[in-house]
Structures are given as C-alpha cells and as structure tokens.
Amino acid sequence: MAHPLLRTSRAGPMRSVSLHLPFGVRRHGPRAAPLEAFSRTEKIIAFSRLLLTIYTLVVVTIDPQQPSFKPSFADVVLGAYVAYSALLFFLVRGAYVSAQRIGLFSAAADIVWVSIIALFTEGGTSPFFALHVFVILSVSVRWGLAAALVATVLLALLYPALLITGRLIEFHEPVFRNVHLFRPIYLLIIGYLIGYLGEHERRAKRKLGFMLELPAAFRRKRAPGRAFSRLVRRALDYFKAEHGTLALRDPESGRYFVWDVARVGRRTRLSLRITEDDPFPFRFAGPTEGFMANDLRADGGTVTCYDMLTGALVRKAIPAATPMPGDGRGQALLVAPVLIQREPRGHAAVVRETRRKFTRDDLEFLLLLVGQAAAGFENVRLQDKAEELAVLEERGRIARDLHDGFIQSLAGIDLRVEAVKLLLQRDPSRVRHELEELHEAVNRGYQEVRHYLSMLRAASRPADDLWSSLDRLAAEFSIRERLRVHVARPECEPDLPTSTAYELTQIVREALRNAVRHGRATQAVVKIATRPSHLYLVVRDNGRGFQNGHGVTDGDGFLPPGAAPWSIRERCAALGGTLRVRTEAGRGAELSLTIPAASTAADRRLHA
C-alpha cells in the first residue's frame, strides 16, 4: 500500500509527469498568523499614545518658557492630538475598526502629528525625542526594520523642512542651531537600533505564528498535495524566497514525488513530478544533514552542514556540476532532510534568486519546521493505518460471528434437508416430523440473524458483563439444545473490558455448539479462574470427544494447535492467549484458554 501522503498521486502511470497551475491563477491573499490575529499590539500602542500625549500636554503647559513659533497654537495642537489619541484608543479598544487598516493609518498620521508638534513646541521643553521614538517604536513593532527605517528617514527629513517653513512664515530665533543639525542624526541612529530590535521580535512572532498554523495542515481527510503546497508557499513567504522544492520518497515503490513551487510577483506556480531517482541527491551531505549555501556557483561553492542526529556543524565543498533546485537561478539555498523515525524520506529546499544571504537562524528554523511537519504527517499516516487495521479486525470479527452462528445454522439446515430427501424414499411417515424440526431450525437461524443485527446496531450501547452473558448463554443452550451448562465463577470476579468479555463469550458459544453438534453432549461446565498474571477459561463436556480432520492427538490427548476450530483460534490470538484442546473418544473434550493479564489491562486502558 502506498504511503498515505502520496496516495493521491498513485492513480496515474508510474512515470515522470508534471501537473502545473498557470501563473495567472489567483491565490488567496496572505493571512495573518494566529498569534498576530489575536494580538493586543494595536491596543497597547493606542493606550501608550494616549498616555504620552497627555504627558506632553501637561509638561508643555506648565513649562514657563514659551515656544518660539506661534506659542498660542502649541496648546491647541497638543489638545487636538490628545483628542485624536483618545478617539483612536476608543475605536481600537472596542474593535470598531480593522487592526491592519488602523495600523497603517495611525502610523502615517503619527508621523505628521509629531512633526507638527515638534515645530510648535520648538524653543521650550520640546518632546521631540519622546514623540519621535514612540512613532519609530510603534512602526518597528508592527512591520520590522524596513518600515522603521522608512519612518525614521521621513521624520528626519520633515523636522528641518518644517523648521525652514516656519522660518519663512514667522520665527523669533535663527533657523538652525547645532541641536537642529544633530537631532536628525541621532534620530537615524536610534531608529536603526529600534528597528533592528523590532525586526528580531517580529521574526520571533512570525515563527511562533507559523508553528501554530502547522496543526491545521495535518487534518485528516485533507488532500496532502494541497497541504504540501500551502506549507511550501508559507515557507517562501517567511524566508522571502522565490523557489521551493519538496521531494518525498515512496517507501514501497522507491519513486520520488517532487513538488516545485515558484513565485513571480504575486503569482505562484505549483508542479508535481514523479521520478525514478532523487532529482537533487546532494551527495556531498549526509542523509541526516541539513545545510546552508550562500555561495552557489557553476563550478561549485561551499556549504555549512548541520547533522540533526549528532548536532555536528561542518563546512563542506560543493562538487562541480551538482544539480541544484531553482532552475540554475539560485544564489542562496537552504535544505533540510525529511526524517521519519530517523529514516530519511526526502528533503525540503528553499531557494533565493537574489544575493541576500541566509543565516544560521534561518537554517535552524527550517530544520525545526520540516521536522514538525514530518512528525505531523506521520501521525496522520499512523491514524489512517490504525483505522485500516480496526476495519480489518472488525471484518474478521463479523466473519467469525457469522461462522459461529448463522453459517452453522445453515449447515444444520442443509443436513436436515438431505435427511428429508432420504426419508421420502425410506420412511415417508417421518417426513412431517422432520419438516417441523427443519422449520424450527430455520426459525432459530432467522432469530439468530435478527439478534446479531440488533447487536451490531446497538454496538455503541453499554454491553452486558461477562457473567450476565454466560448465564444467558447457559439458559439458551438449556432450552434450545437441552444441554445443561454449569458456570463456575471465581471467588473474585475480574473487571474485564467489554471487548475481552465479548470475545470470551463467543469462544464459549462456539465451544458449546461444537459439543452439541459434533460430540452429542448433554452436560458441560464453563469455568473461569484468575491469577495475578493470567486469566483461565475452561470448557468441558461429556460428549463423544472431538476428532480433527486427521484424528491425531499426542500422548496426553491434546490436538495439534491448528486442529482447533479456526474462529476460536483467531479469537484467542486476538486476545494474545494460548489455546489447547484435549479430547478422548467417548469421554468428551476439554478446551482451555489462557490470557495474559497485561493484555486485558491494555485493552481496558484503550476503551477507557
């Protein structure tokens, strides 16, 4: 059976094929990571803005030194900014606006506000650095280093530009002093440091959001190809790469299923190939090694390899003419092995077509991501396998039940029909009596089938315990077969799981039916005993004894293991027990079954 993760691709002929999605196909837009979707970032920024504006208004108001440009307007501008901050805080706290949209709007508005406030508070106790650092910090927390640098440059340019504009209108002091020159320089340095720290925090948040999204891709009944392509696209977004490849080896056929994802702008192309050999063998690296290459050249290059099992970090050379993902356009490469229970099953690669280099942090995260994804898909495969085994076990149980019940009844009816045929020639007067018994046998078979169907429909209802089932079984054989059955109970009745009690009841049923039909028994004893390590079941009758197909027993009268009825053998094997059948002509048969207590305890935990 093919690996479940590859099952959707096995329907076609086993040769190299390619399935493409055209570049024009629209994809779903990028979604926020779960952590970002429920983040309180905007609420915290809005609250901090409100506190800062109130503090600024109070300080400027109580400062005896007046601003140098339009002093009467300073309080008005600050008061308006306080009102704006309060309104924004109300909208964000009540979730009346989209967090993504309000973030972009508020960042742009903050840049304009703080630049104007810096102009109108110039000359007094200026809140220049407090307000500007707040704006840069809020942008860095939202969008990282690149956005923080853009905001810093805008603020650094707006500050002298507004000062010059104010001087043209009305200014009481010279246009530039040393402080006006050094403030933008300091601001650029501070903006870079804040942006760098914000980028690190943002990347950590994206990593966590990516890992939180992984379980959604491991849902059962979901096409694995779609899950693979979605994970690769998310990885390309995270690593800012243009090409991704995932190659998985089918453990049964040995063929490789290769998913290629390429991005051009906002368009994505997905292709699937089935090849006989690994298209990218990477022979210079071990099967458990991931590696990072920032120096890809046609004549070779160097890579940093990391062994996932030993943790060894080694620098190696890339042999010339080594095939690489990315259609020859790759400039930097990350590769992580796909290990399932420490067995190599393929590899995942991320390719950048620009000169931007990968870092060891990128390699470590890709190794973690691929390891978690492989574990998740393997869990799905094991769950599917467990379902298949459960279905097979249930089919076997139904087959045994039908053999022990309805099929036996049909066999009895068939024998009676043959007997009626003979009586029609030898003793027609007995035909009526035989037909009545045949009718009763058909009716019993019909009742058995209806009873069994009722049991199947009521499988989810609480079942009777073992002792109630055995008492009902003894009464049934006493009435229908005129077989006296004595059930000997142990002093301490064990608490058996439902499945074990059911199997034991069916074993007793088959043993009693064989005693009646083959041994012509009139009495039987069912005995159950318990020990700390085992449970014993013995069924003994006073019939003619059990003869197997060859009539061979050992010196103690025990039949060979394969001579016992097959349904009893299979039920015993399912319980992990051992079965022995002792028989003696004219003195009945004895069936003994031993079940380890560990299996019953494990079964009980399974059903708990």
Phi-psi region of 557 (alpha: psi -120 to 50; beta: other; left: phi over 0): left
* Crossing angle of the two packed helices 224-239 and 360-404, in degrees rounded to 10: 170
Beta strands in 102-221 (DSSP E): none
Q: Identify the band that residue 16 occupies on the pLDDT scale cut at 50, 70 and 90.
A: very low
Highest mean pLDDT among 11-25, 340-354, 382-396, 435-449: 340-354
Answer whether 4-26+220-383 and 464-608 agree in fold: no
Q: Which two tokens stand for residue 302?
A: 């160097």
Structure-token match 């630049």, residue found: 115
pLDDT at 170: 60
The answer for residues whose C-beta is within 8 angstroms of residue 547's C-beta and 6 or more apart is 583, 585
Residue 22 has pLDDT above 90, yes or no: no
pLDDT at 139: 92
State the Cα–Cα distance between residues 27 and 33, nearest whole angstrom.
17
Do 262 and 243 form a contact (C-beta atoms < 8 A)?
A: yes
Q: What is the mean pLDDT of residues 133-157?
A: 91
HSE (side-chain half, CA atoms, 13 Å) at 443: 7
Structure-token match 């045949």, residue found: 438
State the Cα–Cα distance between residues 383 and 171, nearest whole angstrom.
77
How is the chain split into domains, by residue range? 4-26+220-383, 34-209, 405-461, 464-608
Strand 313-318 to strand 301-307: parallel, antiparallel, or no bridges (unpaired)?
antiparallel
Enclosing H/E stretch for 21: none
Q: What is the mean pLDDT of residues 166-182?
A: 61
- Torsion angle in degrees (nearest 10) through CA of 226, 231, 237, 240: -120
Residue 480's alpha-carbon distances to 303, 475, 516, 522, in angstroms, are 81, 9, 11, 12
Nearest to 200 by CA among 144, 149, 133: 144
pLDDT tens track for 532-570: 888 899 999 998 887 654 457 777 788 887 778 877 888
Do 601 and 495 form a contact (C-beta atoms < 8 A)?
A: no
Residue 191 has pLDDT above 70, yes or no: yes
Q: Please give the mean pLDDT across all residues of the chain.
A: 79
Strand 523-530 to strand 484-488: parallel, antiparallel, or no bridges (unpaired)?
parallel
303 or 227, which is more confident? Answer: 303
**Full-model pTM:** 0.55
State the Cα–Cα distance between residues 345 and 250, nearest whole angstrom.
8
267 or 178, which is more confident? Answer: 267
pLDDT tens track for 35-94: 444 357 888 899 999 999 998 888 878 876 666 556 677 778 888 999 999 999 998 888
Residue 342 has pLDDT above 60, yes or no: yes
17 or 120, which is more confident? Answer: 120
Highest mean pLDDT among 132-136, 172-176, 295-299, 431-435: 132-136
The secondary structure of residue 14, as a DSSP letter, is S
In single-letter form, the type of residue at position 306 comes to: Y
Provide the 10 A C-beta neighbour count for residue 296.
Answer: 21
Residues facing residue 595 across a β-bridge: 535
Q: Identify the band that residue 350 occupies on the pLDDT scale cut at 50, 70 and 90.
A: very high
Please state which architecture CATH assigns to domain 464-608. Answer: 2-Layer Sandwich (3.30)
Residue 302 has pLDDT above 70, yes or no: yes
Enclosing H/E stretch for 265: none
Q: Which two tokens stand for residue 131?
A: 């307000």
In single-letter form, the type of residue at position 595 comes to: I
Provide the 10 A C-beta neighbour count for residue 264.
Answer: 9
Enclosing H/E stretch for 139: helix 128-143
pLDDT at 34: 41
In single-letter form, the type of residue at position 352 comes to: R
Please state which architecture CATH assigns to domain 4-26+220-383. Answer: 2-Layer Sandwich (3.30)
Q: What is the mean pLDDT of residues 413-430?
A: 80
